[in-house]
Amino acid sequence: MIKVEKDFVQNMFSVRGKVALVTGATGALGGAVAKAYGYQGAKVVMTARNTSKLKELEAEFKAEGIECATIAADPGVVAEVKKAIEFVVATYGELNILAVCHGYNNPKGILEQSVEEWQTIMDADLKSVYIVCRAAAEQMVSQGKGGKIVVTSSARSKMGMKGYTGYCASKGGCDLMIQSMAIDLAPYHINVNTINPTVFRSELTEWMFDPESAVYQNFLKRLPIGRLGEVQDFVGMATFLASPASDFLTGGNYDATGGYWSN
């Protein structure tokens, strides 16, 4: 008898009924992940620092029948993150999925960037990820039911770029930190993985999508899939890594680059 359970296979990509916290929810990727989880029947708590953008999202999602709530918090401030986790538990009873989707960059050459500016990038893209993951893991461990942590890293975690000493270092650190975290949390059945995207459409990257631009043309030379990413391209991996289908996967850095990493 082949040991594949019908019930498992038929529901393995489901996040229905799960409680998810999404950081950077007001951003392009965070908003897409939050909406995708919500469309699939998860209860979604969205967080970012900007309250008014969060409230707009909450209204939009609720109008679509998504069960959701919002809380403003800076992912780099321990006390604010603690409050956000307490809010999730007070609102929906538990926390099952953490999707880390916040981030920041301020590209400058090493000779132009101050140490303080570099540190700001490291804090926004690495220290804050540690703070949020640690707080979520504590909550998940206390519940004793495992959990899923999905962190948005970058294709830049494994390759340098002009003006990116802060960003590449933070994302490279993020990949290794998540691998170590995965080992620490495996005994508690908490899976920790990163998604590593190349360019996806956002307010900041919109200009790169101009087909006439040299940047776009250059990217396409390295992109076998023939186009840059749309946010909808991101949500499949974010769901997979939050669902039972990925129960055996932990400490992974998953390619969401349209083949850029292979080329």
Ligand X SMILES: NC(=O)c1ccc[n+]([C@@H]2O[C@H](COP(=O)([O-])OP(=O)(O)OC[C@H]3O[C@@H](n4cnc5c(N)ncnc54)[C@H](OP(=O)(O)O)[C@@H]3O)[C@@H](O)[C@H]2O)c1
Residues annotated as catalytic are 167
| Shortest distance in whole angstroms from residue 57 CB to ligand X | 10
CB atoms within 10 A of CB 52: 9
When the beta carbons of 42 and 99 are compared against ligand X, the nearer one is 99
CA 249 – CA 63 distance, rounded (Å): 35
When asked if residue 152 is in the footprint of ligand X (CB under 6 A), the reply is yes
Nearer to ligand X, 7 or 203 (CB): 203
Using CB under 6 A, pick the residue from 38, 197, 251, 252 that binds ligand X.
197
Chain positions 102 to 141 lying near ligand X, rule: CB under 6 A, are 102-104, 124, 128
Establish if 101 lies at the interface with ligand X (CB under 6 A): yes
Q: In the Cβ-directed half-sphere of 113, how many Cα atoms lie within 13 Å?
A: 20
* Contacting residue, 13, 14, 39, 49, with ligand X by CB under 6 A: 49
Which among 78, 87, 182, 91 is positioned nearest to 135, based on CA atoms? Answer: 78
The closest alpha carbon to 152, from 90, 209, 195, 104, belongs to 195
Burial class (CB in 10 A: 0-12, 13-18, 19+), 233: middle
Tokens of 93: 């009873």
Helix axes 165-185, 115-122, angle to 10 degrees: 30
- Considering only the stretches 20-28, 80-88, 130-138, 181-189, report the one whose residues sit in contact with ligand X under the rule CB under 6 A: 20-28
Among 21, 22, 30, 165, binds ligand X (CB under 6 A): 30
Site stretch for ligand X (CB under 6 A), options 61-69, 132-140, 175-183, 193-201: 193-201
Least separation in angstroms between CB 69 and ligand X = 16
For the chain, how many helices (H) and strands (E)? 9, 7
Binding site for ligand X (CB under 6 A): 24, 26-30, 48-50, 53, 75-76, 101-104, 124, 128, 152, 154, 197, 199-200, 202-205
